[in-house]
Chains A and B, each alone.
Chain A
Amino acid sequence: MTQPLVAIEGLSAISTRDGGAPVLRDVSLTLEKGEVRGLVGESGAGKSTIAKALLGILPSTVKVTGGFIRFEGRDLLTMPRRELSDIMGRDITLIPQDPQTALNPARRIEAQLTDGLRLKLGMSKKDAHQRALQLLDEVQIRNPDRVLAAYPHELSGGMRQRILIASAFALNPKLVVADEPTTALDVTVQKEILRLIRRMQEAHGTAVIFVTHDLGVVAKICDRVTLLYAGKVIEHGATVDMLTAPRHVYTRALIAAGPRYDRPNAGLEPVPEAVFRQLRAEVGLAERGI
């Protein structure tokens, strides 16, 4: 088998602010080229920490205590700054969570969409403009000329997220980290955006790490899923297997806790306390929890 695109091996990290509390516990996962991987868990599960580590933007309050993040065989954690910043924004890019705050309100869309093309590829203004028009066409934005000249506040949330997606795929990256990219959108727009990410990902042959807390979203877009709890991997697997035949009791409980399209009227079951007790024991947390 060929080398995986990303191989996270035994990654552990602590929060220096929280008295050294672990935020990641011996996390290992591999990501193949062109694969869409869901990182699922409740808040504090460590999914965002993994995403940030992949982008080299861990906050100063998080300290890695062990493990590697190999990207095409090279460890991102020990890579010299220069090489890291070469990779970031070109081979690894980000679709951020909130399109409201991810576009600079004071700059026109064209400037923001072409930043990467100009800074990373050294494109001329004219070439970058042409490429920007292509990209907007790819993400199905009509009258691209008007949009390029607009300021972010003149566009809808869904439109802005399309632009951020275009921007993330602009340099044909190998990995896109999507940090809950649909959470801030309303449900009808959510579906379109998920479909768009999937289509862009297939067209560009890009692998996607999809951070979410929503198993419904996972079912729509992810090939494989990694479920986390309190910084520990609970279950890995192909999305279909995991959603139809979950092995872990927590996975089963989470599925039961979410709405189902095939049974819209069935009641939602909160995750039973017993499941959390078992999880805490497995993870090694004190009885009173996090």
Chain B
Amino acid sequence: MTASDLLNRLFMAVLTLAGVAVIVFCLLRIVPGDPIAMMISPSATPADIAALRAHYGLDLGLPQQFGIWFTDVLKGNFGTSISQRRDVMELIGERLPATLELAFAALVFGVLAGGVIATLGTLARRTALDPALDFINGLFLAVPDFVWALALVLLLGVFWPVFPLSGRIDPTLSTYFHTDFYLIESLVTFKFSAFGDLIAHMVMPMLALGLPLAAIVVRTLKEALAEAMVQDYVLLARLKGMSPLRLVLQEALRNAVGPTLTLTGVQFTFMIGGTVIVERIFSYPGLGNMAIDAVINRDLPLIQGIVLTFGAIFILVNILVDLIAAWLNPRNAHG
């Protein structure tokens, strides 16, 4: 991808985000539920309600409301949360790191686990292991993240309680952090007890989000590897005495990884969406969990801020995937 391609993509990204902003704004005004009704006490008079409406600008026309909000957003001001009375950007800034750490861990797990199993499956071609693997993988493909979450809660939280059931970290440890990237901070500052505790809390939500990704990686990558393994260049390398593992990793993998990479990008954005329900199940204090609270409270500015943040992540991930794909393929790099 050339620099002008990249600029083009970034420009399109801004346009897309603007589109997302319009849609979110309109949708939230269509769905039933009144933020004011959630705030007032039963004793409030109609005059109080009207005053509150005017205070939040909800008495203005929709285009006008959108204009005010959108100009503020362009200035980097996402407004004030109605339910928490705090700056939306600040709230998102506190929660986003937790979600990013979780999603990234799930991504790494899914890709590594999927990659290893796809490689083993490719090495085991034409043995009984291969169809068995496909069958098991088929089952894994059919199970969505929230079902994994519930199954894991039962299995590793209740029947065989090895991992903590909820939260991100033991509350007594969380006060020591300077940033909200606990996992990274604990690692670079050598706080290994905190790191271990963070990992223990993360294992189950990470598995819930990562296992479906792993299953998809296995299927796509294995198919692409099988196609690459029958190419003439693999045959020639085999004749030259290359070991089966090197044949897969060095000859086939780089040519087979394209479709998997693209799909992983798409899956990762789905996974970010999946954090909403999975974080809720594990009471993990991330952005997704906050999104549900925001929706329950009809906290319009907060919902808008969160959705725009998710949108920005989706777009950035897709650009990143294209960049990696271009870097992996020598044709793109030179063409």
Contacts and interface: CB of A to CB of B under 8 A. Distances in A.
Interface stretch (A72-80, A99-107, A217-225, A243-251): A99-107
B242 A115 contact: yes
A48 interface: no
Interface stretch (A23-31, A89-97, A134-142): A89-97
A152 B281 CA distance: 51
Interface residues of A, number: 29
B330 A115 contact: no
Given A106-B254, A116-B241, A96 B330 contact: no
B131 to A, nearest CB: 15
Nearest to A95: B236
Which 3 A-B pairs have CB atoms at the shortest separation, nearest pair first? A102-B232, A106-B254, A116-B240
Interface string B229-271: 0011111111111100000001100110000000000000000
Of A85, A96, A115, which is in contact with the most chain B CB atoms at under 10 Å from its CB? A115
Contact of A104 (B238, B251, B328): B251
30 contacts: A57-B235, A57-B239, A85-B241, A88-B239, A89-B241, A94-B235, A94-B239, A96-B235, A101-B231, A102-B232, A102-B233, A104-B231, A104-B237, A104-B251, A104-B255, A105-B255, A105-B331, A106-B329, A106-B330, A107-B254, A112-B237, A115-B237, A115-B240, A116-B240, A119-B240, A120-B240, A120-B241, A151-B330, A151-B331, A154-B334
A94 B330 CA distance: 26
B126 interface: yes
Contacts of A57: 235, 238-239
Contacts of B235: 57, 94, 96
B233 A101 contact: yes
A153 B242 contact: no
A2 interface: no
A265 interface: no
Contacts of B231: 101, 104
A188 interface: no
Contacts of A90: 241
A157 to B, nearest CB: 14
Contacts of B330: 105-106, 151, 153
Contacts of B239: 55, 57, 88-89, 93-94
A57 to B, nearest CB: 7
A20 to B, nearest CB: 20
A214 interface: no
B252 to A, nearest CB: 9
Nearest to B257: A106
B331 A89 contact: no
Nearest to B255: A106
Nearest to A179: B232
A201 interface: no
A241 B154 CA distance: 83
Contact of B126 (A60, A101, A120): A60
A82 to B, nearest CB: 11
Nearest to A103: B233
A98 interface: yes
A89 B251 contact: no
Interface string B313-335: 00000000000000011110010
A57 B231 CA distance: 13
A102 B240 contact: no
Interface centre among B126, B242, B251, B330 (most CB of A within 10 A): B330
A212 interface: no
A25 B237 CA distance: 31
Nearest to A99: B232
B236 A94 contact: yes
A182 interface: no
A55 B235 CA distance: 10
Interface in B124-172: 126
A226 interface: no
Contacts of A12: none
A105 B333 CA distance: 13
Given A60-B126, A104-B233, A115-B237, 8 more contacts: A57-B238, A94-B235, A96-B232, A102-B232, A105-B331, A106-B254, A151-B331, A153-B334
Given A104-B251, A154-B334, A167 B242 contact: no
Nearest to B239: A89
